[in-house]
Amino acid sequence: MWEETFKTHTDSKPNGPTSISLDFSFPGVENVYGIPEHADNLKLKTTDGGDPYRLYNLDVFQYELYNPMALYGAVPVMLAHSPQRTMGIFWLNAAETWVDISSNTAGKTVFGQMLDYVQGASETPQTDVRWISESGIIDVFLLLGPRPADVFTQYASLTGTQALPPLFSLAYHQCRWNYNDQDDVRAVDAGFDEHDIPYDVIWLDIEHADGKRYFTWDPNKFPTPRDMLQGLEDKRRKMVAIVDPHIKVDTNYKIHNEIRSKNFYVKTKDGNDYEGWCWPGSAGYPDFTKPEMRAWWASMFSYDQYEGSMANLYTWNDMNEPSVFNGPEVTMHKDALHGPWEHRDLHNLYGLYVQMATTEGLVQRSGGVERPFVLTRAFFAGSQRFGECTP
């Protein structure tokens, strides 16, 4: 009865309609901000007659400017600001969420506002906001301010403060897709010295791995990664290598075999391991909502597990919305299962959990004495505790 089809993908909606919604009004407020990530102005526009702002982490290849469409991350926090007071709303829900905004002053020109003033109009400005989520419960926090700094302090008390980054990460990073091999890395590194350009970090994308099997190195292009890393370390430089959460389905790949044997993959609605298509081809998706899965993933960053790694190798988590090339909207089916929970209930949390597990791995490998550096593309409220987010 409740099935919905997106191209060739059918969402079974086994629990029927589960959406929730709540309206909020801000008397005396004309300006609202927040609810990233959107390619739009800082001040949020009213959505009357158009689409609402959408919060649903997606791998978007080409996005439109000044558009409420969803992008890579979602932080369901809105700030309402007036000369008298600043306040906020934190809508704690990781399902697909829509935000409608209306205002009784929208569309009025400066002349129109002056005319109202001259004529003695007494209408108080007001902004109304409607939050709609596909599933979950209404769990909302009102951040009473009254100053902007107070609102951010109150939000941080709920979700945590920004992780203090390692000093090197504030310097210049050299990154592109893709440096071809160790000789290429060595030549780029030497080029910066030759031209006397300071830099601290060089990045490697997916091509550094053996057949896009993460935690490995291509044996032909990067045969001696420790030598490469040591060459950078001798100049006090670092490297960041990509580790994505889609795992190549390959019985000769240790990471895949261990995840499957431990029953750590996300499941289909029928209880089988969920498989989608991504950079390696057919791939499984670890269920990072499981604490034991996150603990195992963290252990893979130890020097005896991540062969060729050294202390100056850090991590970039990409494609963690999660990206599924052959999935609806290039992401995971909503009726996939994380234990008892459907993916629809926690979609926007997936990237946060990937970064959480990766950060813990980098902390553990140093015995807890070194600050980690982990960049994530997908994010949610609280991701700031674990490192940096792609803007």
| 315-346 tens-digit pLDDT | 999 999 999 999 999 999 999 999 999 999 99
Indicate the average pLDDT of the chain.
Answer: 95
- For residue 58, count CB atoms less than 10 angstroms from its CB and return exposed for 0-12, middle for 13-18, buried for 19 or more: buried
Q: How far apart are CA 15 and CA 25, in angstroms?
A: 31
Over the stretch 112-156, which tens digit does the pLDDT of each residue have?
A: 555 565 656 667 899 999 999 999 999 999 999 999 999 999 999
SS3 label, residue 192: helix
pLDDT band of 9, cuts 50, 70, 90: confident
Q: Does the model's pTM come out above 0.85?
A: yes
Over the stretch 185-220, which tens digit does the pLDDT of each residue have?
A: 999 999 999 999 999 999 999 999 999 999 999 999
pLDDT above 70 covers a percentage of the chain that reads 95
Over the stretch 357-382, which tens digit does the pLDDT of each residue have?
A: 999 999 999 999 999 999 999 999 99
pLDDT of residue 200: 98
- For residue 85, count CB atoms less than 10 angstroms from its CB and return exposed for 0-12, middle for 13-18, buried for 19 or more: middle
CB under 8 Å to 83, separation ≥6 — which residues?
none
Cis peptide before 388, with omega less than 30 degrees from 0?
Answer: no
